[in-house]
Structure formats: C-alpha cells, structure tokens
Chain A
Amino acid sequence: MEAAASGGSGSGPPLLLSEGEQQCYSELFARCAGAAGGGPGSGPPEAARAAPGASTAASGPVADLFRASQLPAETLHQITELCGAKRVGYFGPTQFYVALKLIAAAQSGLPVRIESIKCELPLPRFMMSKTDAEIRFGNMAELHGTKVQIPYLITEKNTFKRMDDEDKQQETQSPTMSPLASPPSSPPHYQRVPLSHGYSKLRKSTEQMHPAPYEARQPLVQPEGPSLGGPGAKPLRHQASLIRSFSVERELQDNNSSYPDEPWRITEEQREYYVNQFRSLQPDPSSFISGSVAKNFFTKSKLSIPELSYIWELSDADCDGALSLPEFCAAFHLIVARKNGYPLPEGLPPTLQPEYLQAAFPKPKWECALFDSYSESVPANQQPRDLNRMEKLSIKDMADFPVPTQDVTGDDKQALKSATDEALPKDMSEDSATPKDSNSLKARPRSRSYSSTSIEEAMKRGEDPPTPPPRPQKTHSRASSLDLNKVFQPSVPASKSGLLPPPPALPPRPCPSQSEQASEAELHPQLNRAPSQAAESSPAKKDIPYSQPPSKPIRRKFRPENQATESQEPTTAVGGPASVATVKPHPTVQKQSSKQKKAIQTAIRKNKEANAVLARLNSELQQQLKEVHQERIALENQLEQLRPVTVL
C-alpha cells in the first residue's frame, strides 16, 4: 500500500519499503512535518493529499534530522539532490522517503545513488544530541534494524530500567523516542553503529555495491552482528525497548568501549608509540612533519601508494601538506589498522579527529603543556561512571579478540558469531592469556596514569585484536634500519653478565661525549653513552645509576641524542664494548652483592629505556637522510617552477 502510494506520488524511482521502514519513515515524516507546524497526515501520506503546505516536511526539522544521521555534509547534499527535494523545492513524502533510504544506504557504506534504494537496506539511524530538543527524532530505525547489531556485550541491565522510564515519558506511539539523546557519547556511538551495521548489512546482502576487499574484513568488526540478525526490517516493538537498552548501554560505554569503534580508537600504548615515532621524525611535538618526510616514513609500511594517499587524505584534516601530532597519530593508526586487515573508513572516524585526539590524549610525560585540556574532554568525564562497565566490557572484549584474530584471514562469519557468542561466558578465562599481555601492557600506562584517560585506554583494550602482537613486528618491518632485535639481544647478555648497571648494554656509542657523561652521570644512568661509559667510567657510575629514577633518563634522552652527532650502528659495536663492560664490573660485583637484585631490576628498566633511546637515535639518522631528501625536493620544486616558464 505504502509502496504503491509512494510510487504513485513520487517522480523518482518506485520505492519499495518494508513494513518496518514504512512505519519508521512515516513517523519521521510526521515528526518533521509536525514540527513545522502543519498538520501532517499521521498515516502514510498519499499522493492525493500531497498539498504542498500540509504534507511536506519543513526544511528546518528535516535538516536537523539529516544532520542527526551523522553523515558528512557532502553526503547529505548529495542525498538531498538525489531525492529531488531541490527540484520540487520541498520535502514531500516521496522525497523524504527517498532521502531516508539514501541515508540508510550511506550509513551502510553504500554509495549514494538512486540504485541504492532499490535494495533492501537497514533503517537509517539518527542520533540526537542533548541540545536538539531532547528526543525529537528517534532511533526507531535503529531499534528495528539493530537486531542485527545487538552487541554481545549485553551486561548492563540497569540501563534497561532507565529505558523503561524514558519509554513512559514519551509518547506511546513512538519507539522513535529513544533516549539516545542523552550522551555526549552519542556521536561516537552513532558512528559506531553504521560501521557495524554496514558490515552486517553487507554480509547479508552479498556485497552488492561494496568493493570486494572491504567485505573480507567484515567479520572482524562485528562478529556478533549476524548472529542476532534476521533481516533488518522486523519492527518488533517489544524488542525495541530491549534493543534500546542495549543501544543505550552501548552509548554510555561507547566512549570508553571499543567495539564497533575498536579499530579506530587509539590505546594509550599505541599513542605513546605514535608519539615516539613522531618525535623521531620531528623533535618538536608541537610542529609539523612535512609531507615528504611523512611520505618516506609511511612508505616503509609497505602499503600501496593509493592506499597511503587515501590515508593521507583522511588524516590531513586541514590539507596543509603537513601532519601535526594528532594528524600523524590518526594517519599512523589508520595504517596500523589497514595493515591488520581493517578496511579504511569512508571518512575520518570521530575518535581519530585531530581535535578529539588532542583533547583526549595527554602528551607523554615530558611534554604536558599542550595537552592540559584533556581533562575537560568528554572521555575523561565519562570514565568515572563508566569505569565499572568498562571493566566488564574489557574482559569481554578480550574474550572476543582471540576469536577474531583467528578468523582474520577467513571469511568465516558464522564461526565467529558462534565462537564469540560462546566465547563470552566460557573463554574469558582461556583467552585471558592473550589479553594478558595487553592487560599487562596497559597496566603499565595505567599505573603511570597522568590522566584519567589512561583508564579509558585500559578499558578499551578492545583495540584491534591483532594489533598488539603485530606491532612489535611492525616496528621492525617498518623501520628496517631500527634493528631493535639485534640491539636488544647483545644488550641483554651484556647486562646479565654485567649484573650491574653499567648496563652498558647500551650499545657502545663511542661518543666523544664521555667527558660530558661524567658530568651528567647523575642524570644518565646508563642511557645512551653507556657504551662509551662502560669502557671507562663504568665503575664510577655504578653507584650513581641505582638511585636514578627511570623517569630521569627519559627526560634527558634528548641531550644524549643531541650529543650523538655521529650515530653509529648500535649493532656493530655492541659486541665489543659489551664484553669490555662485563670485565670491569666483575671485580665490583662482589662488593655490591647485596645490591645485585635491585641493580638487575634497574638495569632491566634502563635497558629498555636505552633501547628506546637507541631507536630514537637511529631515527635521527633517518632524519638526516630525510633532510637531504628535502633539499633535493626543494631543488626539484625550483626546477619545476622554472620549467613552466621556459616550456610553455
């Protein structure tokens, strides 16, 4: 009936709306039109009644609704044009329905075309923020369509009650009135939903218009989707409230949780890593990495040029040809995700937006000035209250990860589904092994917590499942010149044999800075010049380093770096000095037998720091190389500038 009516009234292609979609659209239309003040038909508007004044949705509420769909402005423009609203000048029922369908298509990741609406689509989702007159437009669509996405992490029944209360408050008619309005986290929540929904939808509809590579990655993102899904259009009202509660809890936790958004959230650890890399390319964290430098760096990731180009497009928000720290982190994160198999998003996810990144992530200890604002960020605010939930969720996330990891290569969605469904209760203990690493790793940042966001990071371990393990590898593959393995190994034996601090494990940088080392002895336990120190001043230094807190070396790391004008291959020199170092400490070992254990621990810690320093030193070398590249590029640019004048 509706289809016929809409088909008859519209000038566009015939719309085939399912029952659920009909209800949803008509309610939304009614809302829009009602908000405009005119008395809209409560039922499906028909062609006969299409008097321009009465049954059209005013552009104001319609625009708000569209904006609530969280699609980029350009997409909305396209949709508006496609649905013909511009042509007729107003949003008649047909146009409105077409627009809604297009919104659903866009949210599912399908291109916005007239053809898109012909296939069966999930219902469009709209997210309202607090400011938008509370609950004007509902997520009724989501309710109907979300069976597909009911997250497995359904632990929070308390939200259910809340839902019920809000239900009562709202008109009985509209399941559209969903409480999703509440949270500042709604945008991220929303963003997550289309991602997940899109994938599940794709799974269902045998990839009609979606590029092939993207399909392959679906299971990763929403393993639980299909398990719950029937076809998207099942308007079960009684289910609606249930789903709403899930969506709400999802919302609440969303800020700190990671599921559908998982790939796009940066954990504390990752953040640090990215910042380190940034510093290696550009010592000043507040300035930019130029395009060519970044290009060289990212090219090492071995992604294809078009993909890198696309990632750049996404991450360079201000299109200035250079990457600031948050932009760099976003780009790096996208590369990491891509390497681990996640398809690239259509647009920059909210968690990767530069503003978000800058606010949410404090700078590493040595530089907090720029990130003082993080405390004001939403995530920080939400954490305390969501902490409990997060913990639960994180455990569940952990459980999930081993499963998706296994299935990364295969398209075994069903296996994933069932696996995850069962995994939740059972495998938590089994899978704890895998997440343990991530847990322990996260525990470190957590303990360090220079911000409440560290908890957030810890919580959303949900991260890319494969990321933690591969990352170390990535380090090696990406920065091939950083031969950390080799560096570390020689240092380890050296430290062990030495037992004592001169963990000259620090590859002997036969730096001329030895004299300086002596003066800085208090501050540089073994860090950098350890190698050089080891040879000569090791005995003297042994006592001093013990007292050094680990943080000091970090702060001082730059100095050694500056001093290290000549950077030698750490690997080559490790062997020699290490042996030398070990010889000297021996006599002193006996003296300090009582302090051995402490020394070992500090040595281990310092070794790690030393490794980090070495890594930076290596990258400094690379930077020098890049400078040469830049000069070359500058010259080429000049040449190009001159060329047109001569050629044309």
Chain B
Amino acid sequence: MVHTSLDVVDEKISAMGKALVDQRELYLGLLYPTEDYKVYGYVTNSKVKFVMVVDSSNTALRDNEIRSMFRKLHNSYTDVMCNPFYNPGDRIQSRAFDGMVTSMMIQVC
C-alpha cells in the first residue's frame, strides 16, 4: 500500500520537472474501494518524502489540517537532522520527534 503510494509520488515528482518551487503536494485520491484510505504526500526541498495514510472513516480532516501537520512534521524532521549523530537514512529515534508525531496523531483522532 505504501509502496504503491510511493510510486505515485515518484510519478508526481517527475511530472513536476522544472517547477520545483511548489513545496506542498497534496495528493488526495488513492482511494481503493476495498481499503478505504487516503494517502497524502509531501515533498521537501531535499527530496525527502513524507507519506501520510489516513483512514477515510475520519472525515473531519481538512486540507489545512493536513498541511499544518506536514509542516510540523517537516520542522521536526529538520530538528532531527541537526543532530550530527543522526545518519540520514537511519530510523529516526528522536524522542522529541516521536512525541511530536504522536501528539499530532492524537489530536486528529
């Protein structure tokens, strides 16, 4: 499921081509009849992709909320990156980061 969404993100990116200015990419629509979920994608300037999967049962999620969530995610991610001991590509073990993500998810639920 996530892999297919990643493929879609790649498509989008390649489609963007020269116009790399647009930071946000809201892809709403990966809605399989059986799986009933939505996938949001977000790409940063350094080509780091954030993928958010949401249950469609939660209908209250608005566009702005998703954007703000991505922004917070991006900020926390940069904070994690600042840590020189963090190797890009490793699993993120930052407690602050985890806490932020958890709180974000709790807010939504």
Docked complex Cα distance between A440 and B71 (Å): 54
Whether B84 contacts A312 by the Cβ 8 Å rule is yes
| B106 surroundings in chain A (CB, below 8 A) | 78, 81
B46: interface (CB < 8 Å): yes
Q: Is the interface of A mostly helix, strand, loop or mixed?
A: helix
| A74 surroundings in chain B (CB, below 8 A) | 99-100, 103
- With contact pairs A81-B107, A306-B93 given, residues A312 and B47 touching in the complex (Cβ less than 8 Å): no
Whether B82 contacts A309 by the Cβ 8 Å rule is no
A320: nearest residue on chain B (CB-CB)? B82
Q: State which residues 275-317 of A face B: CB under 8 Å.
A: 291-292, 294-295, 298, 305-306, 308-310, 312-313, 316
The answer, among A298, A309, A648, for a CB contact under 8 Å with B86, is A309
Docked complex Cα distance between A305 and B87 (Å): 10
The answer, among B79, B84, B100, for a CB contact under 8 Å with A294, is B84
Q: Mark B70-102, 1 if CB is under 8 A from A, else 0.
A: 000000001101111110000001111001101
- With contact pairs A74-B103, A77-B103, A81-B106 given, residues A310 and B82 touching in the complex (Cβ less than 8 Å): no
| B6 surroundings in chain A (CB, below 8 A) | none
Whether B85 contacts A305 by the Cβ 8 Å rule is yes
Q: Is the interface of B mostly helix, strand, loop or mixed?
A: helix
Whether A78 contacts B103 by the Cβ 8 Å rule is yes
Most buried by B among A292, A312, A346: A312
| B107 surroundings in chain A (CB, below 8 A) | 81
B81: nearest residue on chain A (CB-CB)? A321
Most buried by A among B84, B86, B103: B84
Interface size class of A (residues with CB under 8 A): 20 to 34
- With contact pairs A644-B46, A648-B14 given, residues A312 and B85 touching in the complex (Cβ less than 8 Å): yes
Counted as pairs of residues, one from A and one from B, with CB atoms less than 8 Å apart, the total is 56
A319: interface (CB < 8 Å): yes
Docked complex Cα distance between A313 and B82 (Å): 9
Whether B82 contacts A319 by the Cβ 8 Å rule is yes
Whether A321 contacts B13 by the Cβ 8 Å rule is no
Whether A291 contacts B82 by the Cβ 8 Å rule is yes
- With contact pairs A310-B95, A313-B95, A313-B96 given, residues A295 and B84 touching in the complex (Cβ less than 8 Å): yes
Q: State which residues 308-355 of A face B: CB under 8 Å.
A: 308-310, 312-313, 316, 319-321, 346
Whether B13 contacts A312 by the Cβ 8 Å rule is no
Whether B13 contacts A648 by the Cβ 8 Å rule is yes
| B95 surroundings in chain A (CB, below 8 A) | 310, 313, 346
Q: State which residues 182-197 of A face B: CB under 8 Å.
A: none
B91: nearest residue on chain A (CB-CB)? A306
Whether A309 contacts B83 by the Cβ 8 Å rule is yes
Report A80 CB to chain B, min CB distance, Å: 10
Q: List 26 A-B contacts (CB under 8 A).
A: A74-B100, A77-B103, A78-B99, A78-B102, A78-B103, A78-B106, A81-B106, A291-B82, A292-B84, A295-B84, A305-B85, A306-B93, A308-B85, A309-B83, A310-B94, A310-B95, A312-B83, A312-B84, A313-B95, A316-B82, A321-B82, A321-B83, A321-B84, A644-B47, A648-B10, A648-B13
Of all A-B residue pairs in the complex, the 9 with the closest CB atoms, nearest first, are A291-B84, A295-B84, A321-B82, A309-B85, A644-B47, A319-B79, A312-B83, A308-B85, A319-B82
Q: Which residues of B contact A (CB under 8 A)?
A: 10, 13-14, 46-47, 78-79, 81-86, 93-96, 99-100, 102-103, 106-107
